[in-house]
Amino acid sequence: TEERVFGEGREIFEERLDGFRFQHSFEQEILLERLSKPMRRRLHARIGRVLEKLHAGDVENHLGDIALHMYLGGDQDRGFGYLERAARKAEQSQSYRTALGYCEKALEFAQERGQRRRLLFSIGDLYQKLGDPERARRNYMDTMSLFTAVEQLLIEGSPLTSADRDELRAYSDLL
């Protein structure tokens, strides 16, 4: 059965077997605006975790929703992975603008130089596919600049870690 929820004497959203649905998007926006930023963030984080569990057997078909709520909830650890996966899935279905949005959000969560490099390169590719070669070039240049630190270690003759060697291998593949 469906349970109706009312706000100020009228229906705002309903709970169904597949989740909650707002009747109108502007009512959803108004309710979210009334919440404090920390409360809104916690709500999105909880929704992300619930969606993750609810769709555990079918995550691939819900990557976008899970990724968005993890992002809005500030869950960097899990959000990053979901955003990257959602971007790849969107790109595979030729939804380049959607993929670009996921990549840009993932870039905000990227902690490691390799993650940033991979995302910047993907963003460059997506801009190229969207017909914006100037933005593509800028992202490719940003990608190249991330290799400068590792390249400098090589020039100085400093000892390289295995991660540094992986970075240099990726750099030479790029060239």
Q: What is the pLDDT of residues 15-29, one digit of tens each?
A: 555 555 666 666 667
Quick one: which H or E segment has residue 96?
Answer: helix 96-109
Please, how many CA atoms are within 13 Å of residue 113, restricted to the half-sphere of its CB?
16
Burial of 115 (0-12, 13-18, 19+ CB in 10 A): middle
Picking from 10, 35, 38, 36, the residue whose alpha carbon sits closest to that of residue 24 is 10
Q: Crossing angle for the helix pair 113-129 and 133-145, nearest 10 degrees?
A: 160
What is the bridge-based pairing of β-strands 10-16 and 3-7? antiparallel
Residues sharing a CB contact under 8 Å with residue 35, sequence separation 6 or more, in sequence order:
43
* Res 27: pLDDT: 64
Residue 1 clears pLDDT 80, i.e. is over it = no
Please, how many CA atoms are within 13 Å of residue 15, restricted to the half-sphere of its CB?
5
Cα–Cα distance, 82 to 100 (Å, whole number): 14
Instruction: Answer for the pair 84, 100: CB distance below 8 angstroms, yes or no.
Output: no
Picking from 152, 156, 124, 84, the residue whose alpha carbon sits closest to that of residue 168 is 152
pLDDT tens digits, 106-158: 999 999 888 998 899 999 999 999 999 999 999 999 988 887 777 777 788 88
Higher pLDDT, 137 or 9: 137
DSSP state of 23: S
Residue 7 clears pLDDT 70, i.e. is over it = no
Q: What is the pTM of this model?
A: 0.76
pLDDT tens digits, 78-111: 999 999 999 999 999 999 999 999 999 999 999 9
pLDDT tens digits, 36-81: 888 888 888 998 999 999 899 999 999 999 999 999 999 999 999 9
